[in-house]
Amino acid sequence: MNLNLNRTEFGDPRNAGNVLPPDEALALLQEWVPNERLQLHMKQVGGVMRAWALEREGLPEAEAYQWWLAGLLHDADWEKYPDQHCRVIIEELEQRQVDPAILRCIASHGPKYFGVEPVSRMDKMIYAFDELSGFIHAAALVRPTRYEGMDVKSVLKKLKTPSFAAQVSRDDIQDALSRIDTPLEDIIAFILEKQPAIS
């Protein structure tokens, strides 16, 4: 399946700063994503992205909101349009005149699939958080206490077990980490701290 978007420019520069309000973004999520597990994944990526933008990048709330929005909607077309993943949601958000930086961030969450290299800090972090957030959630689900008591060491051990959550690409995780100046352990610890509270 070829998901290459065959372009690297998205949206209209005149829409810089434009976002969907939270109620509109969440309504789109509900409408496009019937699967509650996928909805949760998208909310988790959005929540972790926003927390990172505020706490680690020191960004103002308005910019952190853009990180949240990109994370929240990055997989919005995956369930209904798997063979056009990323293309459909980006076209929808272009019609809604959303900031091109958010569209580009969504387009860069899987460079080897969509053909869009992560450039901005927001681009690079969604690539890093997407796979790891899903992986850590999968690891929590097989524990009797879920997230409680889960630590970085146990996540690293699971990552080294190829049969566990085999659909999560370890290569993509390594590639994402090679683009940011943050160790894997720090990213895992941050997700473990923030993700349990997101529902």
Residue 83 belongs to a domain with what CATH number? 1.10.3210
pLDDT class of 144 with cuts at 50, 70, 90: very high
Q: Is there a domain that residue 2 lies in?
A: no
| Total count of residues recorded for the chain | 199
Q: Domain span at residue 41?
A: 14-197
Query: How much of the chain, in percent, has pLDDT values that exceed 90?
Result: 97
pLDDT (average), residues 104-108: 97
pLDDT of residue 142: 94
Is 5 contained in some domain? Answer: no
**C-alpha 143, offset from chain centre:** 23
> According to the model, what pLDDT value does residue 135 have?
96
Decide: 53 and 63 in contact? Cβ < 8 Å.
Answer: yes
- Digit-coded pLDDT (tens) for 2-50: 899 999 999 999 999 999 999 999 999 999 999 999 999 999 999 999 9
Answer whether residue 1 shows pLDDT above 80: no
- For the entire predicted model, the pTM comes to 0.96
Number of domains in the chain: 1
Q: Is residue 6 part of a domain?
A: no
Residues 6+ apart with CB under 8 A from 90: 5, 10, 103, 106, 107
Report if residue 1 sits inside a domain.
no
Residue 182 has pLDDT above 80, yes or no: yes
Give buried/exposed letters for 99-114 (b at 16+ CB in 10 A, else e): bbbbbbbbbbbbbebb
